[in-house]
Amino acid sequence: MNIPFLIVIALALSFEHGKNVVPHLQEAIKQCKRVAEMGDKVDPGASLNPAAKARAAAREAMKHLAAMKDDGA
């Protein structure tokens, strides 16, 4: 595991409902790594699916974080 991943997980777990956020953050990080491993010379169509998955996972994590904020976490 790398440092940014550990920081994200630690932050998410510091909240009462943070465990709901962790799987989405893990998925976003995983998909971003896939895109990064493809490099900048890859066909844009090949990186579109993992990039879209990363964006969807990040948005879902943000929804959970916003809900936690609204609940006073």
- Assess contact for 73 and 15: CB atoms under 8 A: yes
For residue 2, report the phi and psi dihedrals to the nearest 5 degrees: -105, 170
What's the whole-model pTM score? 0.72
Average pLDDT, integer, range 25-37: 88
- Secondary-structure breakdown of the chain: helix, strand, coil percentages, each rounded to the nearest 5: 80, 0, 20
Q: What pLDDT score was predicted for residue 72?
A: 61
pLDDT surpasses 90 at 56: yes
- In sign, the C-alpha dihedral spanning 11, 14, 19, 20 is negative
**Interior CA angle at 70 toward 66 and 73, to 5°?**
90
> Residue 12 above 80 pLDDT?
no
Q: What is the mean pLDDT of residues 2-27?
A: 75
The more confident residue out of 9 and 62 is: 62
DSSP 8-state assignment for residue 17: T
Q: Domain extents for the chain?
A: 3-70
